[in-house]
Amino acid sequence: IWYALCGFLAVPHARLPARSLVVIGLALQAVAFAYYTKFPVSETDAPILWRATPDAYDGVAAILLGSLEGQIVARLEAARYYMLDLFVLGGVWIDTLGTMLLGMALLKTGFLGGGLSVKRYGILAATGLGVASVYYLLRPFLDPEKPTQVLVLSVAGYAHRFGGALFWSALVLAAVGAGWRGARIAAVGRAAFTVYILQSVIGLLLFSNLGFGLFGQLSLSELMVVVLVTWGCFLVAAPYWLRYFRFGPLEWVWRSLTYGARQPLRR
């Protein structure tokens, strides 16, 4: 939802040159960072489903293993917090828009289209990894109780975020440039909406009272098995589906709604 709403704000900038997009995108990131620093969103005030604190465990378990009505009420409250407290009041829309403009700049420079050499992608990947690593190098030496050091850690966190994004994207594009096609991953990407929703459905069926109610009952290694099996199923199912159909099922529904007419589905 965030991306859809910010997309309306991003589209008018599409004709700007890459340099202008970078300047505006970085300026928005600076504004967002200053806003986050001045008006931080308190996690203690967040709905139980949004808290990552240890004391939230029992409350989350009570919701997921409780009634359907309780789950719906809790998720509506979480959605209100997501859209109002975080997106609007929390300034996330500024951050999201700035990131989108930077992505649009990367597309115009040829980076996202595979327009650079494998060597250059390798250099950018190494640079991104170096920038991202600063956060982990600094974190053990900084005191979270001292405001100045917290600010340094926050800046390092931003560097980690964008450095990590540069590392992974450059690494994948370098691999593609070297001949790797990643057909199965590409197929999952083409059915991303369906896969995204299916992950939530699978999670609810496995871990909530709507299905097997396994919340809190699996070890970390057992959870990793769930992840790998789920991913494996998607990597097998998506290419098979797209062999016979043009889009994923939810992509087809959304496309038909977008154009106001039933779109062709079968190949």
What does the pLDDT read at residue 124? 96
What is the number of other CB atoms lying within 10 angstroms of the CB of residue 232?
11
Q: Provide the pLDDT for residue 70.
A: 92
Please give the pLDDT value at position 150: 85
Q: Which of 91, 101, 109 is nearest to 40 (CA)?
A: 91
Measured CA angle at 171 (ends 169, 173), to 5 deg: 70
Q: What is the rounded (10 degree) CA torsion for 156, 2, 101, 180?
A: 80
| pTM for this entry | 0.83
Q: Which residues of the chain have pLDDT under 70?
A: none
